[in-house]
Amino acid sequence: MYKMSNNPTSKFQDVPWKHRFFSSMIGFAVNFSRRSDGTINRYIMNLFDFKAPPSQQPFDGVKTSDTVVDATRNLYFRLFLPSLNQDDDVPVIVYFHGGGFAYLSASSIPCDDFCRRLCKKTGAVIISVNYRLAPEHKYPSQYDDGFDVLKFIDDNANAKNLPLNVNLKQCFIAGDSAGGNLAHHVAVKACEYGLRNVKLIGLIAIQPFFGGEERTESETRIVDAPMISVKGTDWLWKAFLPEGSDRNHPACNVFGPKSVDDISRLKFPATMVVVGGFDPMHDWQIRYYEGLKKCEKEACLIEYPHAFHTFYGVPELKETCLLMEAVKGFMERLIN
């Protein structure tokens, strides 16, 4: 195991000024929108959460469109279609965005940008899920929304909104931060349910949002990390988890003392876990990987020692380029 630096902000200095400015603006909005009663001022947050409209005309080699699954809960997904040979089979990635279960959407510019780049790099069709947010909608709303989209795809395998050459037997489930947590729990539900047309062959968890009551070494040491703090994650868990729950709830601490899901018995997809050395949640992500291995599931760990939380939102960083290559290689290995 590498020894991590005690200067979590050093790598952030490599980020172009426009991204640092945007990140600071989002951070300000997140902190300012939180009310003392545990709710969020959505009006303030929406002023800073800029949206990207769907683009029927190819933009950077990718077209997008939105499909409504349930209008009553604003449940929809954004479809990203790569420019490719229509005779080729293409895999699909069902993607869940980050934001601590409480912020952002499938149409938020950072989420749209990342999925667009992932679509172009992997050549896969991306289905980016817009799920309900906490604290207005607590656990298990987000998991229910994610699984309902997966069932919608399974039940509408021949729907006109999906390209004819998409191969649902080559389906990956993925997410960043809270989306990585979502991907895990939705995958568990899918394994228990038994889908007819969709076959999950891989899970991509990018800096997944896990935790527990215990304070880990990375949480106590990394106190000045950009984008996230232990105080912030505590607030988010309280906003998301059921009233009266602590952070050992199985939604948060999946292999902890209150865990109820034994995935040893499930045909769980091969999993790629991505961690960053400057992420306070680093140790919880390592424990997630170790938990998968203990359950005898196929898992690989990708570590970037100098990466901060959400580094993948900055395309200029070396680690972001390496991540895209790693995701592509992981998918190709499982497909072939």
Whole-number Å distance between alpha carbons of 182 and 173: 9
CB 45 within 8 A of CB 105: no
- The helix or strand, by DSSP H or E, that contains position 105, with its residue range, turns out to be none
CB 304 within 8 A of CB 319: yes
3-state helix, strand, coil in the chain (%, to 5): 40, 20, 40
Whole-number Å distance between alpha carbons of 16 and 229: 22
Tell me the CA distances in angstroms from 94 to 142, 156, 228, 247, 270, one per residue in order.
Answer: 14, 15, 25, 27, 15
Token reading at 148: 């309902």
Kindly list the catalytic residues.
177, 279, 309
> How is 1-24 classified by DSSP, letter by letter?
-PPPPS-TTTGGGGS-HHHHHHHH
Whole-number Å distance between alpha carbons of 41 and 46: 9
Is the Cα dihedral 295, 300, 306, 311 positive or negative?
negative
CB 91 within 8 A of CB 335: yes
CB 112 within 8 A of CB 99: no
The amino acid at 34: R
